[in-house]
Amino acid sequence: MNKQMLQEILELSQECLARFWQMDPEFVIRYFDKNIVWIGSAKSQYADTYEDAVKDFREIIQELKPCHLSHQEFTVAQNVGNACTIVGRYITTTDDNVGYFLQAQQRCTFVWEMKEGEPKIKHCHISNPMGELKLAEGEKFVNALGETAKKYWMSRMQSMQSKQKIVVTDNKDITYFLSPSEVLYVNAIGRNCMIYTTNGAEIHSRSSIADFMEKAGETFSFVHRSYIVNNIYISSIHPYEIRLYDGSQIPVPKKRYVEIKKNLIAFYKE
């Protein structure tokens, strides 16, 4: 294929993914070859007939949540005669109007072939890094954040904060120099606060929760008058609580739920 055709097919691959995650599987199905092979993330998602592939795509949409793609990287892996292979990786993030926040990394492979002047998908393969997404039995759309996405965001924020320290002194006169990435969340205790760290430590600070927030930096959010949460460790937000990777559940006031969810989504879009 010439360069122009390759570029068009690369962009078409991206559009197929974007349209699928916006609840439009029919756009992708229209490009299926009659001899398509489809392999998805779930154990059951292996279809070597057109009928099975179409059926699976239409079943997935019943559980799918609208998502948008970011951090997209696509390239042409092979170009032979009238066929080419497009590979890519990207991050899916739930749209603002979804009832909770979910983010995950995926990889894809599209094998295209020109037939009677039309591009057709001969093979489509969507996968996740090992440990990234965990599907419940019979589930086709994942509802939990995976390990790879967690590490991606943690490492990103840690590199940004490597030189920044939060200085706190506890009730035993021990002074700690904490990196923001070491702090999971903070809970107000009267005029003082308890700092919960990623290594399981609990530091009873002499300072107030407001004083901690002044030192903390932009990755922290007041999600409750008694709680500050480090955004990079949030796995999901539900009515009316925030869940962290370690299993902690932080209450969210009903009156501020919409505002807090909006702010968290904006944080991850930056």
Each residue of 46-55: pLDDT tens digit? Answer: 999 999 999 9
Predicted confidence at residue 85, as pLDDT, reads 97
In this predicted structure, the answer to whether residue 131 has a pLDDT above a threshold of 50 is no
Same domain, 120 and 78: yes
Nearest to 220 by CA among 157, 150, 132: 157
Instruction: Find all residues with CB under 8 Å of 143, minimum gap 6, and list them.
Output: 102, 136
Higher-pLDDT residue of 24 and 152 is 24
Same domain, 69 and 157: no
In this predicted structure, the answer to whether residue 143 has a pLDDT above a threshold of 60 is no
Same domain, 99 and 174: no
Same domain, 171 and 135: no
Nearest to 86 by CA among 27, 13, 142, 34: 13
CATH classification of the domain holding 74: 3.10.450.50
| Range 26-33 average pLDDT | 96
Same domain, 160 and 73: no
CATH classification of the domain holding 237: 2.40.50.1020
Predicted confidence at residue 109, as pLDDT, reads 97
Same domain, 139 and 255: no
User: Measured between alpha carbons, how far apart are the two ends of the chain, in Å?
Assistant: 37
In this predicted structure, the answer to whether residue 200 has a pLDDT above a threshold of 70 is yes
State phi, psi for 259 to the nearest 5 degrees. Answer: -65, -45
Supply the range of the domain harboring residue 192.
Answer: 151-269
- Ranking 15-29, 87-101, 216-230 by mean pLDDT, the lowest is 87-101
Give the chain's domain count.
Answer: 2
Predicted confidence at residue 115, as pLDDT, reads 94
Instruction: Find all residues with CB under 8 Å of 20, minimum gap 6, and list them.
Output: 27, 28, 57
Same domain, 124 and 186: no
Model pLDDT for residues 65-111, shown as the tens digit of each residue: 888 888 888 999 999 999 999 999 988 888 777 766 677 788 999 99
Nearest to 17 by CA among 85, 80, 91: 91
Predicted confidence at residue 219, as pLDDT, reads 84
Mean pLDDT of the chain: 84
